Structure 1
Amino acid sequence: MKTQVELKNRLFTIRVVQENKYNNLLLGFLCESLLESNKEIENDPTSAISKLYKKIFQTEMSFSENFDDG
């Protein structure tokens, strides 16, 4: 499964994979943007996006206090 989000006019694709870095029975998450991607499978989509965002833009992401994912 894949989903996309646009941040700073750049598409980030999050892929759900069958295992994460701590448990191969739980889902993991990879993030890609153009030719860049995460090196490690993350345990949650926020970590996957945040790490790639930091790698690309060399700054931390900031989240709104009113963030609601549901």
Structure 2
Amino acid sequence: MKALGRRLAGVLACLAAAGTPRAVAAQSTHVLIVSGLSGDPAFKTRFGSAVSAVRSAAATRWGVSDSSL
């Protein structure tokens, strides 16, 4: 019975040590740009421009890599 108690205490100590929060070394930013059907040629041009502007800003201003866009 004592051996079981020691084992249980050891397992709980390992779980507690493994579960301690750690500082995050690096975080990644991902950008998902969704564009739907425009329905009209004028809207297609506007939506295309908006998508290009957001993609450009994400890459240049926010430093998002191409693989994360």
TM-score with structure 1 length normalisation? 0.26
Structure with more of its chain in strand, by fraction: 1
Larger helix proportion of the pair: 2
Q: Which has the higher contact order (CA 8 A, sep 6+)?
A: 2
State TM-score, norm by structure 2. Answer: 0.26
> Greater CA radius of gyration, 1 or 2?
2
